[in-house]
């Protein structure tokens, strides 16, 4: 059945216009005023509302064995929460432990998602060790299957982290394939040493997590990653950048021509390190890496986001419940790292970014939808409202008012890090490839509608075309 979204104000990354949108099958067929629709077309009245392209979260963890436990969400729960919050596509990190086989892990992650996700999805493949020809062959196979982005950790020594030789080999392969490489930028050795020093001094509570991986460590990791990207000719993407010193390192690299992109995640814009300094379990809820930082960093992050120096806003969604957080009751190093946010990203960034004058509406769409699509090979299929694009649409009610609460959220977690935050707007209708999946905060769609989005390496081709 055809679908007509009528009378809304369409907001793309660069344009804003009032028009109707006609959808037939899974794609947008036409955009214009007074569109005629075939008999039997469902009509959605979007008058007085904004219509955005479906939002893309480029950094989530759904299935994740980590720190002696597993992240709480399933693809069923996480995808429904994502859609209720306006996210129609997410990119999940495949994160094998250092001793795991990469191909087996990739197969496991795919099996967990297939037939379970209500929204579309793709993957980043983490490289947690590099065993010469074997790893290269496996990564080439994974890229050929449609996963055209890598992930490296410059943290979590002996578990996820790679050494400098492995980093170089990964980036060299990525450059040759035209694959973008995302990176968790810290210094694994410095973090390990600082952790042991603090524990030896009896400093075991959650308030010592941030001092164990201070801003300088993240800035060093960011600068080091940028140098490796520069010397290998690769394209890099810094994930969850949290502070002004790391931002300076990234911007300096950009200014000298390094092909480096920057992501910041939702918590770093709105939460600060005092949350993690609360005693006991209350502090443990807010442990993530890089840690929540001093609030003085937040204006720099907002300004850089508006200016485009920060390219994207993700979540690093990684839910662990209160019982799991208590695994670190005797040592902050044992607290499972992660804060959920997949449901709240769009509404919080609209409320505290756009509505507070920190973020232009077009930059909001760009950072949360269009630019992730472009960087990760999904554009123009995703990330734009245009004829021929997938009909992933968010009809947004700016008049709605509400409040975040764990009692009403849809992620599989028993607390919400943004408990009590006021919201000024939410999606009233969300579609995935032309099918209505959400109405007024309620999932009403098809549970297994999501598809794996297979992507081709495109950074090398883009650069070649630009230089021709």
Output the pLDDT for position 464. 42
Contact (CB, 8 A) for 29 and 40: no
pLDDT in tens, 83-116: 999 999 999 999 999 999 999 999 999 999 999 9
pLDDT in tens, 289-307: 999 999 999 999 999 999 9
Domain ranges of the chain: 54-375
Q: Are strands 16-24 and 50-53 parallel, antiparallel or unpaired?
A: unpaired
pLDDT in tens, 151-176: 999 999 989 999 999 999 999 999 99
Reported confidence tier of residue 444, pLDDT bands at 50, 70, 90: very high
Cα–Cα distance for residue pair 85/409, rounded to 1 Å: 10
Predicted TM-score (pTM) of the model is: 0.97
How long is the chain?
Answer: 468
Q: Looking at the predicted structure, is the pLDDT value of residue 468 above 70?
A: no
pLDDT in tens, 402-424: 999 999 999 999 999 999 999 99
Q: What is the mean pLDDT of residues 177-200?
A: 97
CATH dotted code for 54-375: 3.20.20.140
Q: What are phi and psi of 331, to 5 degrees?
A: -160, 130
- Is the bond preceding 380 in cis, omega lying within 30 degrees of 0? yes
pLDDT in tens, 241-257: 999 999 999 999 999 99
Residue 380 CA to its chain's centroid (Å): 19
Output the pLDDT for position 37. 86
Share the mean pLDDT of the chain. Answer: 96
Contact (CB, 8 A) for 272 and 298: yes
């Amino acid at each position: 059945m055809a679908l007509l979204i009528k009378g809304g104000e369409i907001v793309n990354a660069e344009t804003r216009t009032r028009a109707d949108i006609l959808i037939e099958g899974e794609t947008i067929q036409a955009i214009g005023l007074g569109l005629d629709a075939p008999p039997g077309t469902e009509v959605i009245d979007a008058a007085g509302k904004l219509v955005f392209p479906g939002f893309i979260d480029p950094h989530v963890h759904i299935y994740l064995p980590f720190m002696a436990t597993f992240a709480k969400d399933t693809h069923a729960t996480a995808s429904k929460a994502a859609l209720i919050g306006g996210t129609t596509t997410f990119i999940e990190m495949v994160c094998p432990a250092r001793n795991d086989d990469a191909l087996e892990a990739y197969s496991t992650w795919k099996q967990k998602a297939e037939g379970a996700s209500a929204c579309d999805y793709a993957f980043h493949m983490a490289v947690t060790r590099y065993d010469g020809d074997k790893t290269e062959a496996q990564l080439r196979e994974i890229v050929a299957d449609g996963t055209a982005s890598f992930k490296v950790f410059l943290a979590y020594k002996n578990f996820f982290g790679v050494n400098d030789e492995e980093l170089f080999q990964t980036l060299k392969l990525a450059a040759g394939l035209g694959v973008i490489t995302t990176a968790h930028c810290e210094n694994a050795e410095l973090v390990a040493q600082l952790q042991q020093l603090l524990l030896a001094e009896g400093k075991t509570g959650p308030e010592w997590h941030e001092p164990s991986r201070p801003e300088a460590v993240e800035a060093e990791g960011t600068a080091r990653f940028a140098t490796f990207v520069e010397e290998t000719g690769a394209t890099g993407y810094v994930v969850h950048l949290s502070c002004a010193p790391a931002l300076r390192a990234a911007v300096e690299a950009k200014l000298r021509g390094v092909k480096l992109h920057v992501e910041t995640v939702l918590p770093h814009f709105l939460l600060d390190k005092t949350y993690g300094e609360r005693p006991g379990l209350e502090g443990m809820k807010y442990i993530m890496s890089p840690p929540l930082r001093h609030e003085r960093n937040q204006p720099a992050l907002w300004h850089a986001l508006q200016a485009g120096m920060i390219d994207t806003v993700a979540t690093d969604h990684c839910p662990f419940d209160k019982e799991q957080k208590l695994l670190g009751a005797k040592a902050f190093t044992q607290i499972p790292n992660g804060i959920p946010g997949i449901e709240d990203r769009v509404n919080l960034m609209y409320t505290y970014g756009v509505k507070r004058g920190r973020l232009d509406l077009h930059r909001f769409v760009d950072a949360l939808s269009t630019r992730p699509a472009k960087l990760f090979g999904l554009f123009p299929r995703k990330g734009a409202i245009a004829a021929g694009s997938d009909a992933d649409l968010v009809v947004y009610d700016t008049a709605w008012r509400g409040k975040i609460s764990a009692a009403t959220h849809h992620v599989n977690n028993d607390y919400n890090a943004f408990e009590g935050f006021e919201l000024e707007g939410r999606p009233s209708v969300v579609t995935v490839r032309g099918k209505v999946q959400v109405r007024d905060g309620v999932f009403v769609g098809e549970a297994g509608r999501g598809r794996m989005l297979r992507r081709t390496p495109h950074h090398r081709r883009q650069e070649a075309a630009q230089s021709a």
